Amino acid sequence: MTAPAAERLSAVRADISAAEAEMGRAPGSVTLIAVSKTFEAEDIRPVLDAGQRVFGENRVQEAMGKWPGLRTEYEGIELHLIGPLQSNKAKEAVATFDVIHTIDREKIARALKVEMDRQGRSLPCYLQVNTGEEPQKAGVSPTEVDGFLTLCRDEIGLNVVGLMCIPPVDEAPGPHFALLEQIARRNGLTGLSMGMSSDYEIAVGFGATHVRVGSAIFGHRDYPA
Ligand SMILES: *Cc1c(COP(=O)(O)O)cnc(C)c1O
């Protein structure tokens, strides 16, 4: 019997392929990040067994608890940090993750660079953009991204590959995805981390290169994270 999560994974993959075809995107141009936050190793294994290797977690501490073990069981895992980061966790974040999506402050950018140099790991990075300019939400304001990118890429020396956003929950996501794409294009960035369970197909239409899908694969989360 196929595990429910593995079945849902196939369905999400099929949806992404269909959206790629429909939108004239090249097959395989969108990477699926399976967001496993709040789920235990035993819930994640069926998805690994189904061939998924790219995962996202939003807490450094939680990821440290389950991924080092899973990495010894499965080869080729690529782990993305998609949640807020504190500079005092930079060391652990650099040691645990392969890609960072949530850089939005100079202090974090500098702390990550110091750790990457120390650990000899140059991780691909995304800058998080607060496209809805929501006061409670992380991310750089769209008006400040260009300057922040220059700081992170040219002055600090981070390997910035793209932009990430989380649109406001109560708004149509399309305009936010379009804005992120526009900011990326004018800055020569190709990576676009956008789209979650409720809107990943829309995000593919707006050029997402990475969609972050949690509950549509793993099911409902019992506690907020
Ligand atoms: C939890 C989370 C996701 C996945 O959310 P779902 O709606 O469960 O797909 C994507 N991105 C970020 C930043 C998240 O924290």
Atom of ligand 1 at shortest range from CA of 213: 9
Give me ligand 1 centre to Cα 188, in Å: 26
DSSP 25: P
Nearest partner of 142 among 103, 97, 193, 176, judged by Cα: 176
Cα 124 to the center of its chain, rounded Å:
11
Cβ(166) to ligand 1 under 6 A?
Answer: yes
Condensed to tens digits (0 to 9), the pLDDT of residues 36-88 reads: 999 999 999 999 999 999 999 999 999 999 999 999 999 999 999 999 999 99
Q: What is the pLDDT of residue 2?
A: 66
Beta carbon of 197 within 6 Å of any ligand 1 atom: yes
pTM exceeds 0.95:
yes
Query: How many angstroms does the Cα of residue 35 sit away from the middle of ligand 1?
Result: 6
What's the whole-number mean pLDDT along residues 112-131? 98
pLDDT at 224: 58
